[in-house]
Amino acid sequence: MNIVFGNRNSVEEVEEGDKLQPKFDEKGLIPAITVDMSSKEILMHGYMNKEALKLSIETKNAHYWSRSRQSIWKKGEKSGLQQKIKKIRIDDDQDCIIIFVELEGLKASCHVGYKSCFYRELKSINSKFSDKLVFIEKEKVFDPEEVYGDTPNPTKL
């Protein structure tokens, strides 16, 4: 099936229509939230360019745009942490998508070794949020050195 990203002709059509009319930002990217299909847990927040979104839709394998490497990134190609896409949702103004995925391989998505990238939350002290973080995943699923070897770390300061 040939996937066409429609032109954005009117606000009404973008918000209430049945045509896929995604908006890419000034860098050509759209944010993508990745959700575990079975647990509904948010696994990642990444970005796709037009090609990555098209590949994701057509192949059902999650593809992103790597901002650190400036290239298309087929999730799991090196690490084995593939994501099989089951559902794709888009928001009101079509500038953000959610992909619901099944995890393959090690059943994890985060390059640090955790299942989800969101493995920490703000600690509450006396019913108020603090600026201290606590780990909500107690153990890593895998050893990132074993999986990624000497691949450069994508985290930038």
Write the interaction track for a copy of itself spanning residues 68-107; mark x where CB under 8 A is met and - where it is not. -----------------x-xxxxxxx--x-x---------
51 and 45 Cβ atoms separated by less than 8 Å: no
55 touching a copy of itself, by CB under 8 A: no
Give the helix ranges, DSSP H, for 50-118: 50-59
Name every residue whose Cβ is closer than 8 Å to that of residue 91 and which is 6 or more positions away in sequence. 97
Give the strand pairing for 83-90 and 97-103.
antiparallel
Structure token digits, residue 95: 């500038």
148 binds a copy of itself (CB under 8 A): no
Residues 6+ apart with CB under 8 A from 36: 42, 43, 100, 101, 103, 116
Length, in residues, of the chain: 157
By CB under 8 A, the count of residues binding a copy of itself is 62
Select from 38, 66, 71, 130 the one that contacts a copy of itself (CB under 8 A).
Answer: 130
For residue 153, state whether it binds a copy of itself (rule: CB under 8 A): yes
Out of 71, 129, 145, 151, name the contact with a copy of itself by CB under 8 A: 129
Q: What is the largest CA-CA distance in the chain?
A: 55
Task: Please report whether residue 15 would count as binding a copy of itself according to CB under 8 A.
Answer: yes
* Binds a copy of itself (CB under 8 A): choice among 10, 66, 71, 151: 10
Positive or negative: CA dihedral 106, 119, 78, 61: positive
Least distance between a copy of itself and beta carbon 140 (Å):
10
Interacting residues toward a copy of itself by CB under 8 A: 1, 3-6, 8-11, 14-20, 31, 33, 35, 40-42, 44-45, 57-58, 60, 85, 87-93, 96, 98, 110-112, 114, 117-123, 125, 128-134, 136, 153-157
